[in-house]
A and B are shown apart, each in its own frame.
Chain A
Amino acid sequence: MGNFDCVRTNQRKRFRVADVFIIAFLIALSAMFLVVQFSDNGSGMTMVVRKDSEEIMKVNLSQVNEPYEVCIDSEYNIILSIDRNRAEVISSECPDKVCVSAGVLDRVGMSAVCLPAKISVEIIGGENQLDGVVG
């Protein structure tokens, strides 16, 4: 890296070696986040719906027998489809529809966030599954 100082010019280049380091660092960081997020593979799955970071609904997804739909009232109404071990935001009245494009949530750690409605749907590990924890 030291000899960069010698070849330094006044003109910024399109691409330099240091850029590769930034990109590699960001890719490594996101890989780390992915590993941490998806390493939690407990047997239970619980869906938590929050509005303004307050919990308004909690469903144990591993005990759902029949698919059903729930409408969550808010400034923008959101319709959730819930099935065994999966949940999905199927429609929303909000303008950007980011929550709908999050798709099916079927793993612990996945979430769908609707910022305009201030509603988040998050899949967390099951409760009372502590027999699986070691250390």
Chain B
Amino acid sequence: MNKSFSSKKNHRFVSRLAKLSVLSALSAVLSMLEGMLPELPVPGARFGLANLAVMTAIDIDGLAGGICVSVVKAGFGLITRGPTAGFMSLCGSLLSTFVMWLVYKYDNNIFGYVGVGVLGAAAHNAGQLCAAFVLMGSAVWYYVPFLLLVSTVSGSLTGVINSILLPAVRGTQHHSS
């Protein structure tokens, strides 16, 4: 292994690390901001703004990046909102990351950003509901229809924002990894 190759590899690693760190921090800030927004009329529903950072990570880094950001976001939830919230956040974001990555990679652009956002939001809610079902049992079924409806709205919102943001983010990259 010659020196220049090694340093090039190193450079790519540092560049990935830097990007994912920024996105992770961003996801923590976004979920905090979200907590300050007025509550939605549906109990337990949130806008899913932090999904913006996850979607960006998937776009520029792939599955691994998305998982990194999700885990950091869940860790932040664990510290600020307790173990239950952390566990819920982890289940939701991991499922949503996986679904968005699958769509991103294999859909041949059949779906727009709005579709990816809605699928991600629905998967996020589904993951959280499954976690809640494990913890609580059947009472969580009541929340399913409302959370599904909210995910169509919040997913469209994050999709539209991402369709504006992502091309700009990509433009700042020298090479895609």
* A67 and B143 alpha carbons, distance in the complex (Å): 26
B: which residues have CB within 8 A of A? 39, 43-44, 81-82, 84-85, 88, 108-116, 118-119, 122, 132, 135-146, 148-149, 151-152, 156, 159-160, 163
Q: 1/0 contact trace for A1-42 toward B, CB 8 Å?
A: 000110011111111101100110011011101100100000
The reply to whether B139 and A16 form a contact with Cβ atoms under 8 Å apart is no
Of all chain A residues, which has the CB nearest B59? A12
The interface residues of chain B lying within 8 Å CB-to-CB of A96 are: 44, 81, 85
The reply to whether A8 and B144 form a contact with Cβ atoms under 8 Å apart is no
The reply to whether A16 and B111 form a contact with Cβ atoms under 8 Å apart is yes
Partner among A10, A13, A26, A95 whose Cβ is within 8 Å of the Cβ of B81: A95
Of all chain B residues, which has the CB nearest A115? B84
The interface residues of chain A lying within 8 Å CB-to-CB of B159 are: 14-15, 19
* A123 and B123 alpha carbons, distance in the complex (Å): 27
Partner among B141, B148, B156 whose Cβ is within 8 Å of the Cβ of A37: B141
The reply to whether A19 and B112 form a contact with Cβ atoms under 8 Å apart is yes
The reply to whether B142 and A15 form a contact with Cβ atoms under 8 Å apart is no
- Residue of B112, B119, B138, B151 with most partner-chain A CB within 10 A: B112
- Residues 29-82 of A contacting B (Cβ, < 8 Å): 29-31, 33-34, 37, 50, 52-53
Partner among A15, A34, A101 whose Cβ is within 8 Å of the Cβ of B114: A15
The reply to whether A18 and B111 form a contact with Cβ atoms under 8 Å apart is yes
Given A37-B142, A37-B145: A98 and B43 interface contact (C-beta under 8 Å): yes
Q: Smallest Cβ distance from B50 to chain A, in angstroms?
A: 16
* A30 and B126 alpha carbons, distance in the complex (Å): 12
A sample of 7 cross-chain residue pairs with beta-carbon separation below 8 angstroms, ordered by A number, consists of A12-B109, A12-B116, A13-B112, A19-B115, A27-B148, A111-B142, A112-B43
The interface residues of chain A lying within 8 Å CB-to-CB of B85 are: 96, 115-116
The interface residues of chain B lying within 8 Å CB-to-CB of A112 are: 43, 139
The reply to whether A16 and B112 form a contact with Cβ atoms under 8 Å apart is yes
The reply to whether A23 and B152 form a contact with Cβ atoms under 8 Å apart is yes
Of all chain B residues, which has the CB nearest A50? B137
Of all chain A residues, which has the CB nearest B163? A14
The reply to whether B152 and A26 form a contact with Cβ atoms under 8 Å apart is yes
* A109 and B143 alpha carbons, distance in the complex (Å): 10
Partner among B119, B136, B138 whose Cβ is within 8 Å of the Cβ of A22: B119
Given known contacts A19-B159, A110-B142, what 11 new A-B pairs fall within 8 Å (CB)?
Answer: A12-B111, A12-B112, A12-B116, A19-B112, A22-B118, A27-B149, A27-B152, A29-B145, A30-B148, A116-B85, A121-B139
Q: 1/0 contact trace for A85-129 toward B, CB 8 Å?
A: 000000000011011011100000111110110101110000000
The interface residues of chain B lying within 8 Å CB-to-CB of A8 are: 108-110
The interface residues of chain B lying within 8 Å CB-to-CB of A98 are: 43-44
